[in-house]
């Protein structure tokens, strides 16, 4: 008497483990690129916020003739940035960047803004983004349009 033949279907443990290893390798390659892409997107938001605050500073300068006071003689300070809606990026939710004046740079004819990375953006290789009244940009806490880090961070 012959025993009935059984057809086996499914995957062996080795085949499943090979698939798991392949997926893990692909994920290990893709995740850093994805993280860099997300950081670059948040950095673009911070650069836009810096430019928007700088535009408001220039409007104030056109009206009052100075950066450190408004037309009525009131001081320009952190409240001024908060009033623009760009004190943190994004405006609602967990901040990725905090926008402020660099201490000691706000004067009658000068200012320097900074976007300090926060939260998940803290590991951004560009670090603190800078912008002053002359339109000179900076990255990594160093002001300078021609520095390689500034070029890499502001032109992407």
Q: Kindly give the residue spans of alpha helices, DSSP state H, lying in the chain.
A: 13-64, 78-84, 148-154
How confident is the model at residue 135, as a pLDDT? Answer: 95
Q: Taken in order 131, 136, 137, 142, is the CA torsion positive or negative?
A: negative
How confident is the model at residue 2, as a pLDDT? Answer: 59
Would you give per-residue pLDDT tens digits along the chain (156 residues)?
556 666 678 888 998 999 999 999 998 998 888 888 889 999 999 999 999 999 999 999 999 999 999 999 999 999 999 998 999 998 877 899 999 999 999 999 999 999 999 998 998 999 999 999 999 999 999 999 899 999 999 997
Please give the distance of CA 149 from its chain centroid, rounded to a whole number: 14
Q: Which CATH class is domain 14-155?
A: alpha beta
pTM for this entry: 0.81
> What is d(CA 99, CA 49) in angstroms, rounded to the nearest whole number?
8
Strand partners for 121: none
Structural domain spans, the chain: 14-155
Per DSSP, the three-state class of 1 is coil
How confident is the model at residue 6, as a pLDDT? Answer: 67
């Amino acid at each position: 008497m012959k025993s009935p033949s059984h057809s086996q279907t499914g995957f062996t443990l080795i085949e499943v483990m090979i698939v798991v290893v392949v997926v893990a390798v692909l994920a290990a390659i893709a995740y850093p690129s994805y993280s860099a892409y997300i950081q670059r997107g948040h950095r673009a938001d911070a650069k836009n916020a810096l430019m928007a605050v700088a535009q408001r500073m220039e409007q104030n300068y056109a009206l009052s003739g100075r950066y450190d006071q408004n037309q009525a003689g009131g001081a320009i300070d952190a409240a001024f940035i908060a009033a623009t809606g760009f004190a943190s990026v994004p405006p609602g939710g967990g901040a990725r960047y905090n926008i402020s004046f660099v201490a000691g740079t706000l004067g009658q004819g000068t200012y320097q803004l900074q976007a300090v990375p926060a939260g998940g953006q803290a590991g951004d290789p560009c670090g603190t983004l800078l912008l002053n009244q002359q339109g000179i940009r900076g990255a990594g806490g160093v002001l300078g349009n021609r520095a390689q880090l500034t070029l890499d961070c502001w032109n992407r």
